[in-house]
Amino acid sequence: MNLIQQKMKAVLVFWGLAFQAAIAQSAADTVTIRVGEGSKVIFAIKDKKDLETMKKYNFQKLMDDMIYKLEVRDSSKLAKHASEFLKKDTIIKEQATVPVSPEIPARNEHHRKYYGHKTYNSFIIDVGTNNYVSNGNFPTQDNSQYAVRPWGSWYIGLSSIYRTRMANKFFLEWGYGVSWYNFKFQNNQTQITKDNTGVQFIADARGYNYEKSKLTASFVNISVVPVIDFGANKRKPSFFNGRHANGFRFGVGPYAGYLIDSYSKQLYKVNGDEKKERHHDNFYLNNLRYGVRLQLGFNDVDFFFNYDMNPLFVTGKGPQLNAFSFGVSF
């Protein structure tokens, strides 16, 4: 064997060993899964750091999608990027993905734009005024001792309201909360008394310098109000959720409440000193209130009107009065 042949043989041996080493190195980072008679799936890992990234992919979903599209002989529509199969709520910074063809949508991924029955919660404050009527008339027309001043008779409501989408623009607003009636009497001298026969509204005869007299009643409430929202806002407009609303909306529905506290309050002066009297009593108020709520809104502003269908006082124990309130919700 001449010198040239020996050198050529040495070169061939060198490259043969190098090739085998390269194959061995590649095999160490390659996983081959044989499927059936002649098919196989190969995973080639170049960087061990990629193993942590692989844990974030839903390979079951990837395989299902691949098998489905191969069965219908549509391999041209196979996903072009594995990030289409990231697990839910996983975020990885990488290049934009190629979406699945709209002609054959990925199974179990149909996006329901309107009919998901999604529910969102909002904290709502009702601020307005309250009064009551007797047989359709305000007590002021009869110059009654319990006639109420509209200004100063504030209604306050705090509620946790859930809005559930039932259809495209149809929602159900339901929730619970607490509210306060404040009936500020027109006659500052009005005094509330109670005996076995019922509750009386009389003029306080003690001769003080009277400045204010009122009756306060607080209730815990529940409500269910169907709403048509032409803006299709998924959340109920609220000052606290920081979301802009749009369009016109209206709703009407029932509510019910249970009395948790009530008291009378008088404010007067004696020899220049201001005095307050507060008496906690149920004053024969009905423990239960129920009625109808009307809501009207446009963009970020909502108005409400509540009407109690049952009387404020127990029948035969006080004047027959039906309370109502109206104002703004935010």
Specify the pTM.
0.65
pLDDT at residue 140, rounded to an integer: 85
Collapse the DSSP code of 119 into the 3-class scheme (helix H, G, I; strand E, B; otherwise coil) and give the result.
Answer: strand
Domain limits, the chain: 1-46, 53-109, 119-329
Contact 324, 130 (CB under 8 A): yes
- Which residue has 């020996």 as its token pair? 6
Nearest Cα to Cα of residue 300 among 225, 218, 242, 227 = 242
How many whole angstroms separate alpha carbon 176 and alpha carbon 310?
20
How many whole angstroms separate alpha carbon 123 and alpha carbon 160?
5
pLDDT at residue 241, rounded to an integer: 72
Tens of pLDDT along the chain (330 residues) come to 554 445 444 444 444 444 454 444 444 466 666 666 666 766 667 676 676 677 777 766 766 776 666 665 555 555 545 556 565 555 544 444 444 444 444 444 343 444 456 899 999 999 999 999 998 899 987 889 999 999 999 999 999 999 999 999 999 999 999 999 999 999 999 999 999 999 999 999 999 999 999 999 999 999 999 999 999 998 888 877 777 888 999 999 999 999 999 999 999 999 999 999 999 999 999 999 999 999 999 998 999 999 999 999 999 999 999 999 999 999
pLDDT at residue 116, rounded to an integer: 52
How far is the CA of 284 from the CAs of 193, 208, 259, 314, in angstroms? 11, 27, 11, 6
Collapse the DSSP code of 42 into the 3-class scheme (helix H, G, I; strand E, B; otherwise coil) and give the result.
Answer: strand
How far is the CA of 115 from the CAs of 28, 170, 245, 262, in angstroms? 51, 10, 20, 44
